Amino acid sequence: MGFRQTSASNSGEPRSVSERMDWNLLKTFCAVATEKSISRGAEKLHLSQPAVSQAIKRLEEQLGCTLIDRDSHRFELTDTGSSLFRVSLAARQSIREIDSIVDKTRSNVKGSIRLLTVSGVNCPEYDNVLRGIHEDHPGITFSIEVASTQEIISALHRNDSTFGIGISQPGDIDINQLTLSREQSFFYCSNLHPLFNDNDVTPDKIKSSKLVSFSGESLGGTLSKLSEHYGSNYIRHNISASSANTGEVLRLVLAGLGVSSLPEHLCREYEERGLLRKLMPEMNVCEVLIVLMWSVHQVRTQAEDIFLKRMQAALSASQKLDQ
């Protein structure tokens, strides 16, 4: 008589929670917990809100406990929900190792690299790395989205993105940072603005002009520095237009809607064409340190490792040339 292994299902032993759990429901719970909203979680998963609500209900029934306390005005994870969320994030991170293991068995590296970045970054080494990876590993694709530095940091902590490019955030021990560039920002106006032909531009004249501002912190988003110059009341009441995107702020300035603080490298071409004027070139508004960021806890795929190693090598070589 042959030996037949006895399992929990045919031996009468109760199955554990992990064996009974529907991992698709856990994925839905992670999205809702990350977004702190049923509706936003549904949008992220491209599902209907009722379908997501029903999925959370089924998961709670499977586990025999409440995961979310919610009503029309409140959304809060229970203690069990918070613990499950932490375990779920760790599980997602471990599952990513499967991609890395599978990739290493293939002759051609494939994979997708998701990167969040502030707008208007100027770094030739970064451009060269993107081009080199595309030529050497055509199976690697990139998904690059514009976001504020705070959004990037939050995504890295949640393991929603592997890499980010933003303004340096010293003191965050869970985030590695690698310097890409230092950006100098100055006040600019267009040839359609009254200050363009003014031979005696002063800080008071800039202050009396309408401001094209950054709606939220991003590259060139120097609201805090402008507040130091003029005070927060001025910033709140003297804005004629705003955008979170550097290119759109530049567009608004070129259209003559006001004065703005912009990265010097983005404006140089327009200055040469006589479309922009650097107001008070002796006074830069601030210097912004742009860095590549990644979580110290992130498990990277082979494609992501290639990107990071190439970035480290390119920036190290550039620093040696500058010395």
Same-domain check for residues 168 and 308: yes
Say if residue 130's pLDDT is above 60: yes
- pLDDT, residue 163, reads 96
Q: Which residue has the higher pLDDT, 318 or 317?
A: 317
The answer to whether residues 158 and 301 belong to one domain is yes
Say which residue, 223 or 98, is predicted with more confidence: 98
Residue 286's domain spans which residues?
109-323
Single pTM value for the model: 0.57
Say if 9 falls within a structural domain: no
At 161, is the secondary structure helix, strand, or coil? coil
221 closest CA partner among 164, 265, 167, 146: 167
Indicate whether 7 belongs to any domain. no
Higher pLDDT, 323 or 284: 284
Higher pLDDT, 32 or 236: 32
Nearest CA-CA partner of 291 in 311, 310, 305, 263: 311
Asked, for residue 6, whether it belongs to a domain, the answer is: no
C-alpha 67/C-alpha 83 separation (Å) is: 9
Same domain flag for 136 and 258: yes
The stretches of 174-244 forming alpha helices (DSSP H) are 203-208, 223-230, 232-237
Q: How confident is the model at residue 17 (pLDDT cuts 50, 70, 90)?
A: low
Distance CA 114, CA 128 (A): 18
Residue range 147-187, pLDDT digits in tens:
888 889 999 988 888 999 988 878 878 899 999 988 888 89
pLDDT at 312 > cutoff 90: yes
Compute the mean pLDDT over every residue in the chain, rounded to the nearest whole number. Answer: 82
Of 288, 277, 120, 274, whose CA–CA distance to 206 is shortest? 277
CATH classification at residue 22 = 1.10.10.10
Determine the pLDDT at residue 320: 65
Spatial contact of 52 and 45, defined as CB atoms under 8 Å apart: yes
pLDDT of residue 3: 39
Q: What is the mean pLDDT of residues 95-101?
A: 67
The tokens 């759990």 sit on which residue? 21
As given in the structure block, the two tokens for residue 40 are: 């936003």
Same domain, 142 and 65: no
| Domain co-membership, 95 together with 113 | no
Q: What's the rounded mean pLDDT across residues 112-126?
A: 90
**Distances, alpha carbon 9 to alpha carbons 12, 20, 77, in Å:** 6, 11, 32
Please calculate the CA angle 137-141-146 and round it to the nearest 5 degrees: 135
Q: Are 199 and 302 contained in the same domain?
A: yes
Whether residues 157 and 88 fall in one domain: no
Written as one letter, the residue type at 319 is: Q
Averaged pLDDT, 67-94 = 83
Q: Let me know if residue 5 belongs to a domain.
A: no
What three-state secondary structure class fits 76?
Answer: strand
Question: Which band of pLDDT confidence, cut at 50, 70 and 90, is reported for residue 250?
Answer: very high
Q: Of the candidates 31, 66, 99, which is a domain's last residue?
A: 99
**What's the number of domains the chain is made of?**
2
Q: What is the CATH number of the domain that holds 291?
A: 3.40.190.290
3-state SS, residue 146: strand
188 assigned to some structural domain: yes
Residues 314, 218: Cα–Cα separation, whole Å: 24
Note the pLDDT of residue 214. 74
Instruction: Choose one of 99, 127, 154: the last residue of a domain.
Output: 99
Q: What is the DSSP string of 238-290?
A: SEEEEESSHHHHHHHHHTTS-BEEEEHHHHHHHHHTTSEEEESTT---EEEEE
Residues 141 and 92 in one domain: no
The domain boundary, picked from 55, 79, 99, lies at 99
